[in-house]
Amino acid sequence: MSDGLWRSKAGHAVLWQVATVGLVVALGYVMVSNMLDNLASRGIASGFDFMSSTAGFGIATSLIDYDESSSIGRAFLVGLLNTLMVSAIGIVLATILGTAIGIARLSSNWLLARIAGAYVEVLRNIPLLLQIFFWYFAVLRTLPSPRGSHAVGNAVFLNNRGLYLPGMETGPAFWTMVAVAVLLVTLPVVRRRLGGIIAWGGGAALIFAACLTVKWSLPVLTGFNFRGGMVLSPEFVSLLVALSTYTAAFVAEIVRAGIQAVPRGQVEAARSLGLSPRDVMGKVVLPQALRVIVPPLTNQYLNLTKNSSLAAAIAYPDLVSVFAGTALSITGQAVEMIALVMAVYLAISLSIALGMNLYNRAIALKGG
Partner 1 sequence: MKISRYFTILSAGIVWSAVASAATLDTVRERGWLSCGASEGLPGFSSPDARGEWQGIDADFCRAVAAVVLGDPKKARFTALSSKIRFTALQTGKIDVLPRNTTWTQTRDTALGLNFVGVYYYDGQGILVRKSLGVKSAKELDGAAVCINAGTTTELNLADYFRKNGMRYSPVIFEKSDEVVAAYAAGRCDVYTTDKSGLYAQRLKLRDAANHVILPEILSKEPLGPVVRQGDDAWFNIVRWTLFALVGAEELGITSKNVMALKKSAKDPRVRRFVGTEGKAGANLGLDPDWALRAIAAVGNYGEIFARHLGPQTRLKIERGINRLWSDGGLHYAPPIR
In the complex, which residues of this chain contact partner 1 (CB under 8 A)?
31, 34-35, 37-39, 41-45, 56-60, 68, 127-129, 137, 140-141, 143, 145, 160-161, 222-225, 227, 234-235, 306-307, 309-310, 312-315, 317, 320-321, 324-326, 328-332, 334-335, 338-339, 341-342
Output the CA torsion 169→171→173→178 (10° steps).
Answer: 60
Closest CA to 311 of 158, 135, 146: 135
Q: What are phi and psi of 351, to 5 degrees?
A: -65, -45
How far apart are CB 21 and partner 1 at their closest, in Å?
21
Quote the CA–CA distance of 232 and 164 in Å, as a whole number.
7
CA 353 to chain centre: 13
Residue whose CB is less far from partner 1, 127 or 282? 127
The minimum distance between CB 40 and partner 1, in angstroms, equals 9
Question: Cα–Cα distance between 125 and 115 in angstroms, integer?
Answer: 16
Cα gap 86→84, rounded to integer Å: 6
Nearest to partner 1 of 116, 322 (CB atom) = 322
CA distance 188 to 180: 14
Nearer to partner 1, 223 or 274 (CB): 223
- Shortest distance, CB of residue 98 to partner 1, whole angstroms? 21
Altogether, the residues listed in the chain come to a count of 368
d(CA 263, CA 273): 16
d(C-alpha 181, C-alpha 202), whole Å: 7
* Nearer to partner 1 among residue 99 and residue 326 (C-beta): 326
**Nearer to partner 1 among residue 219 and residue 258 (C-beta):** 219
Q: What's the min distance (Å) between Cβ of 299 and partner 1?
A: 17
Could you tell me the smallest distance in angstroms from the CB atom of residue 44 to partner 1? Answer: 4
Shortest distance in whole angstroms from residue 147 CB to partner 1? 10
Q: Kind of pairing, strands 215-217 and 167-169?
A: antiparallel
Q: Which is nearer to partner 1, 4 or 43 (CB)?
A: 43
> Least distance in Å: CB of 164 to partner 1?
12
Contact between residue 145 and residue 224 where contact means Cβ atoms under 8 Å apart: no
Residue 280 to residues 262, 264, 268, 285, Cα–Cα distance (Å): 12, 12, 9, 6
Cα separation, 298 vs 359, in Å, equals: 10
Whose Cβ is closer to partner 1: residue 174's or residue 323's?
Answer: 323
Task: Determine the Cα–Cα distance for residues 247 and 89; give it in Å rounded to an integer.
Answer: 12
- Whichever of 39 and 214 has its CB closer to partner 1, that residue is 39
State the nearest-atom distance from the C-beta of 127 to partner 1, in Å.
7
